[in-house]
Amino acid sequence: MNITTDKAKELIKETNGRIFSSTFVKKDNSIRTLTARLGKKYKSKTGRKAPYKAQNYDLLPVYDMQKKAFRMLNFNTLLTLTINKTNYKII
C-alpha cells in the first residue's frame, strides 16, 4: 500500500508503543532497517535539553529495539514502514 509521509507519521503515532519496522536512507546513503517503538522516555545524562525541536526537521525520536538506544527517524528519507505485518511504501 502506498502512503505519504504525513500518513506515515499518523500511523506511527497510532502504534501506542507497539513495535514497528522502517527502512530509510542514512546520511552516508546506505539503506538501514530500523525496528523501533515509541513510548520510552529519553532521560538526558547531562540534564540539558536538545538544542532543536525534532518536529521542525521532520524527525521523530524512537527507541531502537536492536541497539537498545534512541535514534531519530527522518521522514524525508523514509522508504518503507511495517506495522502489524502490513507493509507500506512511502511515496
Q: Which residue numbers in the chain have pLDDT < 50?
A: none
At 58 the pLDDT is 93
Alpha-carbon distance values, 73 to 44, 46, 47, 65 (Å): 19, 23, 23, 13
φ and ψ of 41, to 5 deg = -95, 130
- C-alpha–C-alpha distance, residues 81 and 87, integer Å: 6
Three-state secondary structure call for residue 6: helix
